[in-house]
Structure 1
Amino acid sequence: MKNIKVLGSGCKNCETTANLIQIAAKQAGTEIELEKITDIAVIMGYGVMSTPGVVIDGQVVHAGGLPGPDKIRQWVSE
């Protein structure tokens, strides 16, 4: 099971990113644990300066703007 964190203030892009990850994981048949992190101190602890940020199994894989669908599918299928 992958642990995926979406880092952000809860803005529209952050919510959309979380929803797209859930949809892609379901389509791929991949079990994920999805967390939404809104605490600025925690987000800064990952070194993310622009949101949404995405952390998979402790590694930052994206920061700033909506990730593309191909990138999201790659994350959940790896």
Structure 2
Amino acid sequence: MIVKVLGTGCKKCQKTEENARAAIKELGIDATIEKVEDVQGIMSYGVMATPALVVDEQVKVKGKVPTVEEIKKML
């Protein structure tokens, strides 16, 4: 499973990454987290508001910081 955090590195983007790492750890699943920080890469997903979370190439959240529990449900 590949989880991507889309964002330019702001505090909300960092928090989204932290929450994603926590959710993966709590579930004990094998997943890779990738950060997409360049605007072209972010826009290639059709995302105009960051942070965004992509799971296996499907945009799950955009424009808000999902909680650890919300991310666990997405995974």
Q: Deviations over 1:9-57 (max 9, x none)?
A: 0000101110111011111111110001101001001000000011110
Which residue is 2:13 aligned to?
14
In structure 1, runs of 5+ residues without a counterpart are none
Which residue is 1:72 aligned to?
71
Q: Distance in 1 between matches of 2:15 and 2:68?
A: 11
Q: Does 2:33 match 1:42? A: no
- Number of residue pairs matched? 75
**Aligned residue type for 1:43:** I
The list of structure 1 runs, each at least 4 consecutive aligned residues, that deviate by more than 3 angstroms after superposition, is none
**Aligned residue type for 2:20:** I
Q: Distance in 2 between matches of 1:36 and 1:69?
A: 17
| RMSD (Å) for aligned C-alpha atoms | 0.9
The 5 A counterparts of 1:15-34 are: 15-34=14-33
In structure 2, runs of 5+ residues without a counterpart are none
